[in-house]
Structure 1
């Protein structure tokens, strides 16, 4: 299946999607692509909010975009690999049978699959600004992300391939 179809399928049954992705074998290149595309989408989602801030504050938009690009495409992947490593260790301590690959896939896929809601959050931040609406969209994204991540970790907890 294509990634876009898998993203849509994740909203119905994330366990089946992660199981299918794990069944395709260990492909660290695919994990890295999932992570980098998710980080790119997170960066793109920031642009409406940054444009709004630059307009309101009178600051330079290019400076804000450059900082966000650096954060999302260079720093965030390193931090997310670290989070996946810590998750792997926690699952091992809980006597699970995960692999490093499966825990990374669970996290990176959860980020990518929930990224359409991040785009909605960015649009809300850019057009409506801070407020209850933005918090609601952020909470919905966070709940969906946790659902996808925990579902993927349930599969990773028992995986040994």
Structure 2
């Protein structure tokens, strides 16, 4: 399926999409593929910051727009992926306390949740740029946060599904 189709399907059936993303039988799991998901998600969230940054630069000319955008670029494209990798590692360690866990599926869950929430972050960024700071802009963040956490929880559940013991094939 196309990536955009999978993102849209994740709003209705996140576990089904994540099971398919985690790998079909016989298909190689590719770390590069999920890293691209994270990079695309972070890049979209960076783009979502542009209207807010333009508004801030217009209202307060002490910091130029280019400097604000450079800071957001550094934060979302260089620092945020490291933070999400650390979050995935911490979640894998926490889940490992309860038993074996598929660490690839945990990373997929975190990175996919970022990618699924990123289109809604575009809406939030537009609201923050047009409306400015306030309860309406904060309310526009709620769908993105819900999408992130719903997909993260679904992905963590998928990563725990694979830890059932294999059937005994003895005599």
Structure 1 runs of 4+ aligned residues shifted over 3 Å read: none
| TM-score (normalised: structure 2) | 0.90
Quote the offset at 1:73 in angstroms: 0.8
Cα distance in 1, alignment partners of residues 45 and 92 from structure 2: 24
SS of the residue 1:71 aligns to:
helix
Q: Is the 8 A contact 1:48 1:125 kept in 2?
A: yes
Relative to the length of structure 1, the TM-score reads 0.95
Q: Which has the higher helix share?
A: 1
Q: Tell me, yes or no, if structure 1 residue 84 matches structure 2 residue 88.
A: yes
The secondary structure found in structure 1 opposite 2:49 is helix
Q: Distance in 2 between matches of 1:130 and 1:35?
A: 27
Structure label with greater radius of gyration? 2
Q: CA-to-partner distance for each residue in 1:88-108, whole Å, 9 max, x for gaps?
A: 00111122x322211000000
User: RMSD of aligned C-alpha atoms?
Assistant: 1.0
- Which deviations, in whole Å up to 9, do the C-alpha atoms of 1:105-153 show, x marking residues without a partner? 0000011011111000000000001111111111221112100110011
Aligned residues: 159
Q: What is aligned with 1:7?
A: 7
Kept in 2, the 8 Å contact 1:102–1:159? The answer is no
Unaligned runs of 5+ in 2: 164-171
Alignment of structure 1 residues 149-160 onto 2, 5 Å: 149-159=152-162
